[in-house]
């Protein structure tokens, strides 16, 4: 796929490292080159890396206080 995955110990953890706009979501009965079958697939746009912000994440979508990222994405 042309994407290299770094070793686990090199991954940034406990940080917000980027932002993205969710522009859609669809359920797929079949597998594709980028998704598993019988799953919802998010359509993303405008991904941007930001200066890392310490933050403990969660599984799935979750809200982050606007003031935390406002300066980083300006």
Task: Parse the chain into domains and list their residue ranges.
Answer: 1-57
User: Which tens digit of pLDDT belongs to each residue from 1-25?
Assistant: 577 888 888 887 899 888 889 999 9
**Cα gap 9→59, rounded to integer Å:** 20
Q: Is the pLDDT of residue 62 over 80?
A: yes
What is the value of pTM for the model shown?
0.63
Average pLDDT (60-68) is: 85
> CA triplet 11, 14, 15: central angle to 5 degrees?
85
Of 54, 50, 48, 49, the closest CA to residue 13 belongs to: 54
Judged by DSSP in three states, 18 sits in strand
pLDDT of residue 4: 82
């Amino acid at each position: 796929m042309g994407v290299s995955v770094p070793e686990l110990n090199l991954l940034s953890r406990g940080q917000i490292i980027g932002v993205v706009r969710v522009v859609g979501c669809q359920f797929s009965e079949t597998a594709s080159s980028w998704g598993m079958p019988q799953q919802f697939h998010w359509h993303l746009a405008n991904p941007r890396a930001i200066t890392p912000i310490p933050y403990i994440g969660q599984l799935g979508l979750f809200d982050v206080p606007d003031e935390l990222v406002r300066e980083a994405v300006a």
